[in-house]
Chain A
Amino acid sequence: MLLIFSSPLIGLLINILVNFSVLRLSKGTGVVSSLGYSTAAGLLVVLAMPIYTQEFEHLPPNSVIYLALSYCFFHFVHIPVASVRIRVLLELAKRTKVSEAELLRTYGASHILEFRLKRLTDTGQIAETSGAFTTKVKRIYYVAAVLATLKRFVNRGEVQL
């Protein structure tokens, strides 16, 4: 019984171990790809567990719990890669005092734009044709649209998008 309920946590543990090993051993693998492999490895464990326990009733809830926890782990690993806040803190941690102008020279909107456009192009979300950027795959766009709708809802429509 305990094995059935703990299978999402075992899956998460496998996810963390596989992710850490991939990041440590395969330097050429990106953070997002490593998270893809490790999430799949953990999910396999969660899906395989009922074969051992012969208890299939808990497979759907266990998969949902596992995927929700993996999403949290994804954020924990991915936030330092993509977060503007973490980057600002890193810049401040390097020196005792930094003026806003200096900070913006090192890491300002132009850096953010360049970095994000490169990442969105590399991951195939957008495409660049003779200096114009267009949407290629709409998957992340839909997520952005849902988040923008929620933002508009909580701010009573007063947002700049």
Chain B
Amino acid sequence: MNSLIVGAAIFIMIVCAHLVSWRLINFKSPAKGLIIILAGVMTLSLFLLLREPLITVAYINLIFVSLTLAYLLTMPAIESDSPSSVILLHIERCGEKGCTIDDLQAIVTDDRFVGERIRGMVKQGLIRKSGTDYAITDSGRHFLRFFVFYHIAAGRAHVGG
């Protein structure tokens, strides 16, 4: 139980350090920032070996690393707008009378949800722009394969939404 408390406390410190540095430094890649912080904390955690046996330190590392990985996968939702989140927040704001499809069309726009992602992927090298056309790059194909291979192996072809 003590390992859980120590591991969870380290995780909370990592998240706070990451969010504060993200706000102050305005990271180009917040994920890289988090990985650097995580690597630093894992190195510092070796000092725990002075007081605790190796197995306990490894266990504490397993706790905060798994929690940090979960946070890492939640980060894209903080970085860019998720359409479902924006729709839910807007519907809630409309109150009891509700939102019509026209209200929602005003906030779910091509530029906000597709254009922004296209520009992001050009910057990341997943796709390239030549003139007005876009094409997928080799790293884009590898990225795509990594995520869809499981679905294809499981016999589910429908992906992307």
Binding site for B on A (CB under 8 A): 1, 5, 8, 20, 23-24, 27, 31, 57-58, 60-61, 64-65, 68-69, 71-72, 75-77, 79-90, 92-93, 96-101, 103-104, 107-110, 112-113, 115-117, 119-120, 125-126, 129, 131-135, 138, 140-141, 143-145, 147-148, 150-151, 153-156, 160-161
Contact = CB atoms under 8 A, between A and B. Distances in A.
Provide the main secondary structure of the chain A interface.
Answer: helix
A109 B112 CA distance: 9
A100 B78 contact: no
Interface residues of B, number: 77
A86 B159 contact: yes
Contacts of B105: 109-110, 113
A144 B90 CA distance: 11
Provide the main secondary structure of the chain B interface.
Answer: helix
Contact of B150 (A76, A120, A154): A76
A138 to B, nearest CB: 8
**B66, B117, B127 pick with most chain A CB within 10 angstroms:** B66
B135 A112 contact: no
Interface of B: 1, 3-4, 7-8, 19, 22-23, 30, 55, 58-59, 62-63, 66-67, 69-70, 73-74, 77-79, 82-89, 91-92, 94, 96-101, 104-105, 108-110, 112-115, 117-118, 120-121, 126-127, 130, 132-136, 140-141, 143-144, 147-148, 150-151, 153-156, 158-161
